[in-house]
Structure 1
Amino acid sequence: MTSRRRIRQSIRQLRNTLSPTEQSQAADALVLQCATNPIIQKANTIAVYLSSDGEVDTDPLIQWLWQQGKQVSLPVIHPFAKGHLLFLEYTKTTPLIHNKYQILEPKLDKTKIVPTSELDLILTPLVAFDHTGNRLGMGGGYYDRTLSRWHTDQQGPMPIGLSHSCQQVPLLPIESWDVPLPQIITPKKTWFW
């Protein structure tokens, strides 16, 4: 088993051991961290994701973003471009379906697509991160492909990772396609690089 696979497995197990109370407290603390983040405060159109598999719960954050008048978008697996994401506007009435990974996403509606160029921020899921901003995802490469322009020439929406504090590891083994993040927000701290 590769070390990346081992890290994914151990961190996913670790975050899934958090109790419902710990998850709820982490979600509320994450909102407080985001509320004081000047980049999030200035952004108008923000992509976020619906949590699964023990990820820090983004529902309270989405509620807060709506209260602030932000336009929220969610990722959808692209139906034609394998390994790519689309972003669709997300409101309280958006119909949701399970994708092939059993993750909730908006039902595809081409009238609700938000081009990546119109996003200010992409709040990004991750499995693990290290002290230099390297991010380890689930292994599908969806976000690395989406963020590749940001990585090469700082074009497109800025990515900010969201994570439980327990998902930090000393050092991640990285690959050439991995996109490091300029910020990662945990319930306890915001990391900047």
Structure 2
Amino acid sequence: MSVDLKKLRQQLQQQRKSVSGFEHQRAQQQIFQRLIRLKKFQQAHKVGIYLHAFGEVHTRQIIEYCFKQHKQVYLPMICTMNQQLRWVKISQRQYRNQRFSHHALGMQEPMASRGVHVSHLDLLILPLLACDLLGTRIGMGGGFYDRTLASAKHRPLRFGIAHDFQLVTNPLPRKPWDQALDGLITPTKSLHFTR
């Protein structure tokens, strides 16, 4: 059965927007508990993660835990020259003081002129709109993560975090340039995929 991606994106964006504050808090807590038990997360020193802006799973608890565990935290910044993401290391103080700039697409970015390539990271925690049981990830449609990860085939380890309704059972179409996940964590599941 083929999937209408445009329709699926609209449906899931709407569903994500309707998640209540309480549901976001509960999902964040449940995903956090699953994530910190993963050996790959425990071993990761340089962690790339996002700041939630469009109804994605909230990341505050994960970020604060990373700082507490003396992990290095990196946030994405869009490079306008090649439309790829660069990863900027932030401090706990910078995070808590919300020292970020507002990007035209609607998300916050670290205020820095330089960042590192994604292959510098040990683990990347990605937002998504949908993921299937094979690890195919559908994002917001800008292709930033796919373009960025295409130049880093083996590193970092890629884990998506999502609400349970974002895991779809029908296989999603995967184009040659689409970058699959190594794992997905939802409030009720921890899945591992073969990339």
Same fold (TM over 0.5): yes
Alignment of 1:17-36 (within 5 A): 17-36=18-37
> How many residues are paired up?
186
> Do 2:136 and 2:180's aligned partners in 1 also have CA atoms closer than 8 Å?
yes
Structure 1 unaligned blocks of 5 or more: none
CA distance, structure 2, for counterparts of residue 115 and residue 179 of structure 1: 16
Task: Report the residue type matching 2:124 in the other structure.
Answer: I
Q: TM-score, normalised by structure 2?
A: 0.90
Report the counterpart of residue 192 of structure 1 in structure 2: 192
Q: TM-score, normalised by structure 1?
A: 0.91
CA distance, structure 1, for counterparts of residue 80 and residue 8 of structure 2: 30
> Do 2:67 and 2:92's aligned partners in 1 also have CA atoms closer than 8 Å?
no
Alignment of 1:136-175 (within 5 A): 136-150=138-152, 154-171=153-170, 172-175=172-175
Report the counterpart of residue 50 of structure 2 in structure 1: 49
Instruction: Kindly state the Cα deviation for residue 167 of structure 1 after the two structures are TM-superposed.
Output: 0.6
Report the counterpart of residue 84 of structure 1 in structure 2: 84
Report the counterpart of residue 102 of structure 1 in structure 2: 106
Q: 1:159 is paired with a residue of what secondary structure? A: strand
Instruction: Kindly state the Cα deviation for residue 51 of structure 1 after the two structures are TM-superposed.
Output: 0.6
Q: Deviations over 1:72-102 (max 9, x none)?
A: 0000001322x21110012233320111211
CA distance, structure 2, for counterparts of residue 61 and residue 137 of structure 1: 21
Instruction: Kindly state the Cα deviation for residue 114 of structure 1 after the two structures are TM-superposed.
Output: 3.1
CA distance, structure 1, for counterparts of residue 162 and residue 65 of structure 2: 17
CA distance, structure 2, for counterparts of residue 124 and residue 158 of structure 1: 10
Q: Deviations over 1:5-41 (max 9, x none)?
A: 1111101111211111111011111110111011010
- Residue 178 (1) aligns with residue 182 (2): no
Report the counterpart of residue 66 of structure 1 in structure 2: 67
Q: Determine which of 100, 124, 127 is the counterpart of 2:126.
A: 124
> Do 2:49 and 2:76's aligned partners in 1 also have CA atoms closer than 8 Å?
yes
CA distance, structure 1, for counterparts of residue 129 and residue 66 of structure 2: 23
**Aligned-residue identity in percent:** 33
Report the counterpart of residue 4 of structure 1 in structure 2: 5
Instruction: Kindly state the Cα deviation for residue 155 of structure 1 after the two structures are TM-superposed.
Output: 2.5
Task: Report the residue type matching 1:42 in the other structure.
Answer: Q
Task: Report the residue type matching 2:139 in the other structure.
Answer: G
